[in-house]
Chain A
Amino acid sequence: MSRFRPIALVTDPRYLDHDTANSLHPEIPARLEGILKRLESSPLAPYLKKITPRKAEMNRVLAVHDEDYLSSFEGTCISGREFFGHPDNRLGYDSYEIALLAAGGCLSGIDIIENGESELVFCCIRPPGHHAETAQALGFCFLNNVAIAARYWKDVHGKERILIIDWDAHHGNGIQEVFEHDPDVFYISIHEHPTFSFPGTGYSNETGTGAGEGATLNIPLPPGSGDEAILNALKGRVGEAVKEFRPEAIIVAAGFDAHVMDDMSGLAYTTKLYGYLGTFMAFWAERYCKGKVLSVLEGGYHLEALPASVEAYLAGLSVCID
């Protein structure tokens, strides 16, 4: 009996070509290089199978983003400008193509789950996506990878109730914007309190609108919160919400910037916590989705904490407890 379940690792050297070159920009290719290097020499290595992503088809991206927005994104890259909309959103000539490849990685991941090749998929991609809105780039994000994946899972594979759980240190305003009216996609986010933290959204009173009322759950944690705070939330309100929703598919917006060493947030999780997060995700996947879950990399900027936390997460996610 093996110790870990196999994990499909969606990644591609082309993800390094999204160029944010600037001495102070934290969303850099070294993030992925660090993760992949760590995983190569990890006890998990024999259980990991690399998958090459495809480019997202335009109709899948248009299911989330405005056409005008996409052409202006593409135009900005080709024109040689250094950022899109806000100086935070640095990009290079290839960034549009790479962003399509990042979103496409999630779609490849879903196909792998659906055709039975692997129950667990980790998309080790960049640029990240959860701040990107229908028609706005924000916080290093251009295309909302998770939102595009959720629409695809529903439209192509017929999943009716999709749970998106986001424990990046920052609120995923983009995912929320796309699905706040949708009762069938439940967005749960646990993040640093918006009074103190980027992007200034994700207050607990944001619970969805119209038909989607109740299908958004925001749990802000005060700066300085650590493992205990998020574990209490998972055992309490999150657990109850998941149980009530009974998802048919689970997507994890996996950001690692709440780590105590990561200075992009005031949260203070330990590396070990990410292992626990993995077991929680695996537990819900087992109970509601035959063990299947798609995890998508979002933030995480400390070049030592990030690889260690990803490894801990994947170990917790895949470990066999029997």
Chain B
Amino acid sequence: MYILRHMTPAPLTVEPDVLIPEAREILRSNRFRHLPVIDEDWRLVGMVTDRDIRSAYPSSVLSGEERRHELEQVSKTPVSEIMSTDLVNLLPHSTIDDALLLLEKKKVGAIPVLDEKGVIVGIFSMRDLIRAYKRIFGLAEKGSSLVTIRDDGEPNVLARIVKILEQKGIPFTRLSRTKLTEDERSPVIVYIRVQTYNISAVHSVLVSAGFELVDPEPLLPEDRHLNS
């Protein structure tokens, strides 16, 4: 769960006196959106995004003369003029949960990862987050399937499920217990990600242990039109 294992290590960086057109070219040719700005000791001093750069360039509605003038200005401007200095960062031992909360709170697309001296060691983007959670949840993992049962309200529900599955030799990779919606009265559902095609065998094992199978997520009549 540590960021260290999920971040992009050793990201491309620029120094503050790099000119805007050069920074733009780095982002464009590498197809990413966030460029950390560092000082001579590799410490983070700012972040430049493709959006900062776009807004530095003159508007296309300007007249030819004005536009040429502004373009000339931009081509002489260093990134230090447009970078954001209101910075947040993660540490190598921050978790991907920290990252998710921070990305959500700060409404940014990527966060630099700094060591204890403030030296940049990586960058963690929304894409890295998606990839990390995809792996954790087993999304699109080939050969897997989701079986859902209702929490029977009796003690040790997860332990009982694990025991049954292991006894019967049913391969599974994830087990989670959650309310279907945030509503207080919402039923509590247990999701089991099994690694087998033989779903009917899984069903019969669970049913004979007294569990009730439920729809993974019952669609309401009013949702039906969304189907096709």
A residues near B (Cβ < 8 Å) are 24-26, 86-88, 131, 138-140, 170, 173, 194-201, 203, 221-225, 228-229, 232-233, 236, 263-266, 301
Chain A residues positioned under 8 Å from B219 (CB to CB): 222, 224
For the complex, give the distance between the alpha carbons of A216 and B169 in Å: 35
What would 13 more interface pairs be, CB under 8 Å, given A88-B198, A195-B146, A264-B199?
Answer: A26-B201, A86-B143, A87-B169, A139-B197, A195-B216, A196-B145, A196-B146, A196-B217, A198-B144, A199-B143, A200-B139, A200-B142, A228-B228
Summarize B's interface: helix, strand, loop or mixed.
loop
Q: Does B10 contact A (CB under 8 A)?
A: no
For the complex, give the distance between the alpha carbons of A25 and B228 in Å: 33
- Centre residue among B145, B196, B197, B200 by max chain A CB count within 10 A: B197
A139 and B228 contact, CB distance less than 8 A:
no
CB distance from B15 to the nearest CB of A (A): 39
Q: Does B204 contact A (CB under 8 A)?
A: yes
A222 and B171 contact, CB distance less than 8 A:
no
Chain B residues positioned under 8 Å from A200 (CB to CB): 138-145
A173 and B227 contact, CB distance less than 8 A:
no
CB distance from A21 to the nearest CB of B (A): 14
B227 and A198 contact, CB distance less than 8 A:
no
Contact A263-B198, Cβ < 8 Å, known A138-B142, A199-B142, A225-B227: no
Contact A199-B144, Cβ < 8 Å, known A86-B196, A232-B228, A263-B200: yes
Contact indicator per residue, chain B 132-158, by CB within 8 Å of chain A (1) or not (0): 000000111111111000000000000
Chain A residues positioned under 8 Å from B198 (CB to CB): 24-26, 88
B140 and A194 contact, CB distance less than 8 A:
yes
Chain B residues positioned under 8 Å from A24 (CB to CB): 198, 200-201, 204
For the complex, give the distance between the alpha carbons of A322 and B146 in Å: 46
Chain A residues positioned under 8 Å from B140 (CB to CB): 194, 200-201, 203
Q: Which 8 A-B pairs have the closest CB atoms?
A: A232-B228, A139-B197, A198-B145, A24-B201, A200-B144, A196-B216, A263-B200, A198-B197
A198 and B218 contact, CB distance less than 8 A:
no
Contact indicator per residue, chain B 190-203, by CB within 8 Å of chain A (1) or not (0): 00000111111101
Q: Does B116 contact A (CB under 8 A)?
A: no
B residues near A (Cβ < 8 Å) are 138-146, 169, 171, 195-201, 203-204, 215-219, 227-228
For the complex, give the distance between the alpha carbons of A232 and B1 in Å: 43
CB distance from A88 to the nearest CB of B (A): 5
For the complex, give the distance between the alpha carbons of A121 and B142 in Å: 31
Chain B residues positioned under 8 Å from A87 (CB to CB): 169, 171, 196
Contact A236-B228, Cβ < 8 Å, known A26-B200, A224-B218, A266-B216: yes
Chain B residues positioned under 8 Å from A26 (CB to CB): 198, 200-201
Q: Which of B138, B169, B215 contacts A223 (CB 8 A)?
A: B215
Contact A266-B196, Cβ < 8 Å, known A198-B143, A200-B142, A200-B144: no
For the complex, give the distance between the alpha carbons of A131 and B144 in Å: 12
For the complex, give the distance between the alpha carbons of A88 and B196 in Å: 6
For the complex, give the distance between the alpha carbons of A138 and B227 in Å: 29
Chain B residues positioned under 8 Å from A222 (CB to CB): 219, 227
B227 and A229 contact, CB distance less than 8 A:
yes
- Centre residue among B140, B169, B198, B217 by max chain A CB count within 10 A: B198
